[in-house]
């Protein structure tokens, strides 16, 4: 009887060991095969290349956000949008290595900034034009503009030049034949209406609308300020040299992740997004 009990006990003990071993093996297997969602997200994020891009106004942020949400993942990019509140910091941040590229400026502005900051900058694939327009809270057409009307234009060299050339195109002024690359108010050869110029920073021009007769600023500033006011006249695609594009340091022009983002920003789906969202206030040039 004791021998039978001993055999049964040994058998029970062996079975428990076998069962325990199987259970442990299954648990380990299940543990290996079970993916932690948080870990999966982290691994996916690690597989993407981070690219930091500086922006200034809402338009640039909106377009980058669309690319980030809809196109970037397929190219293995994780776009991090870095917001600035002026037009100087995006280039100094690029110089200091805080960002990989910026997305807010046109070529004439970039060239002037490069000279001032002693940087070698390059634009890849111009993307869209935020047309410069002549706006007024007082007049409905340029023919109504009186003598000695006050007009606010951009203070910075590149956009000041752009403002003057738009006014010249409309016959409000005439520039000297000898004007250089960037015109200033000193280059005005004829001013039939004796317009009185006020040179202001971009956002200040919009705020000056109630204090001046005319104001020259871009559709980007209008949208940033939430204005419903329509321009009396505005630029067309003929002025696409003022198109905004992705800018980086010349030394990083061929960086694969910068090249990837540059191509995404001129994807046909981005053009459709711009056309649908801005309804002509922003013009794709690609």
What pLDDT digit, counting tens, does each position of 137-194 carry?
999 999 999 999 999 999 999 999 999 999 999 999 999 999 989 999 999 999 999 9
Contact residues for 220 (Cβ-Cβ < 8 A; gap 6+): 57, 59, 60, 130, 282
Query: Which structure tokens are listed for 270?
Result: 């981005």
Q: Give tens-digit pLDDT for 237-270.
A: 999 999 999 999 999 999 999 999 999 999 999 9
In terms of Cβ atoms closer than 10 Å to its own Cβ (0-12, 13-18, 19+), residue 104 is buried
Tell me how far apart the alpha carbons of residues 276 and 71 are, in angstroms, rounded to a whole number. Answer: 17
**Strand pairing class (214-218; 150-154):** parallel
The reported pTM is: 0.80
pLDDT of residue 244: 98
Q: pLDDT tier at 36 (50, 70, 90 boundaries)?
A: low
Task: Calculate mean pLDDT across residues 39-49.
Answer: 60
pLDDT of residue 46: 59
Superfamily of domain 47-131+241-284: Periplasmic binding protein-like II (3.40.190.10)
What sign has the CA pseudo-torsion 260, 272, 86, 157? positive
Helix (H, G, I), strand (E, B) or coil at 115: helix
Q: What is the DSSP letter of 266?
A: T
Beta bridge pairs of residue 49:
77
pLDDT of residue 189: 99
Q: Give tens-digit pLDDT for 178-216.
A: 998 999 999 999 999 999 999 999 999 999 999 999 999
Query: Which structure tokens are listed for 136?
Result: 């007024």
pLDDT of residue 142: 98
pLDDT of residue 47: 85
Q: Are 264 and 71 in contact (CB under 8 A)?
A: yes
Helix (H, G, I), strand (E, B) or coil at 231: coil
When the pLDDT of each residue in the chain is averaged and rounded to a whole number, the result is: 88
pLDDT of residue 17: 36
pLDDT of residue 174: 98
Task: Calculate mean pLDDT across residues 29-42.
Answer: 44
Tell me how far apart the alpha carbons of residues 154 and 216 are, in angstroms, rounded to a whole number. Answer: 7
Q: pLDDT tier at 57 (50, 70, 90 boundaries)?
A: confident
Task: Calculate mean pLDDT across residues 110-133.
Answer: 98
Residue 109 pLDDT exceeds 70: yes
Task: Calculate mean pLDDT across residues 98-115.
Answer: 98
Residue 45 pLDDT exceeds 80: no
Query: Which structure tokens are listed for 208?
Result: 């000056």
Query: Which structure tokens are listed for 210?
Result: 């109630």
Provide the Cα torsion 275, 277, 281, 282; round to 10°: -60
Q: Which CATH class is domain 132-235?
A: alpha beta
Query: Between residues 43 and 206, which one has the greater pLDDT?
Result: 206
Tell me how far apart the alpha carbons of residues 126 and 240 are, in angstroms, rounded to a whole number. Answer: 9
Any alpha helices (H) in the chain, and if so which ranges?
2-33, 37-47, 58-70, 89-95, 107-117, 157-169, 202-207, 219-225, 256-264, 268-278
Helix (H, G, I), strand (E, B) or coil at 265: coil
What are the start and end residues of each CATH 3.40.190.10 domain in the chain?
47-131+241-284, 132-235
Residue 18 pLDDT exceeds 60: no
């Amino acid at each position: 009887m004791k021998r039978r009990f001993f055999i049964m006990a040994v058998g029970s003990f062996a079975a428990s060991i076998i069962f325990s071993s199987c259970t442990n093996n299954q648990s380990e297997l299940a543990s290996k095969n079970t993916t932690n969602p948080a870990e999966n997200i982290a691994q996916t994020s690690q597989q993407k290349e981070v690219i930091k891009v500086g922006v200034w106004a809402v338009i640039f942020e909106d377009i980058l956000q669309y690319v980030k949400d809809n196109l970037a993942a397929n190219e293995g990019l994780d776009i991090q949008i870095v917001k600035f509140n002026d037009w100087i910091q995006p280039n100094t941040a690029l110089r200091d290595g805080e960002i990989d590229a910026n997305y807010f400026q046109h070529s004439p502005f970039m060239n002037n900034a490069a000279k001032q900051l002693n940087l070698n900058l390059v634009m890849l694939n111009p993307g869209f034009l935020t047309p410069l327009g002549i706006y007024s809270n007082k007049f409905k057409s340029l023919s109504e503009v009186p003598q000695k009307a006050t007009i606010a234009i951009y203070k910075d060299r590149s956009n000041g030049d752009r403002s003057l050339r738009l006014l010249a195109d409309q016959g409000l002024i005439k520039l000297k034949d000898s004007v250089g690359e960037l015109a200033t108010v000193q280059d005005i050869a004829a001013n039939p209406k004796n317009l009185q110029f006020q040179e202001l920073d971009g956002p200040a021009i919009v705020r000056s609308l109630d204090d001046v007769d005319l104001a020259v600023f871009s559709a980007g500033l209008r949208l940033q300020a939430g204005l419903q006011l329509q321009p009396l006249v505005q630029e067309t695609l003929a002025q696409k040299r003022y198109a905004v594009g992705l800018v980086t340091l010349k030394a990083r022009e061929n960086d694969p992740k910068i090249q990837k983002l540059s191509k995404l920003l001129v994807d046909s789906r981005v053009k459709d997004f711009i056309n649908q969202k801005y309804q002509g206030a922003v013009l794709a040039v690609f």
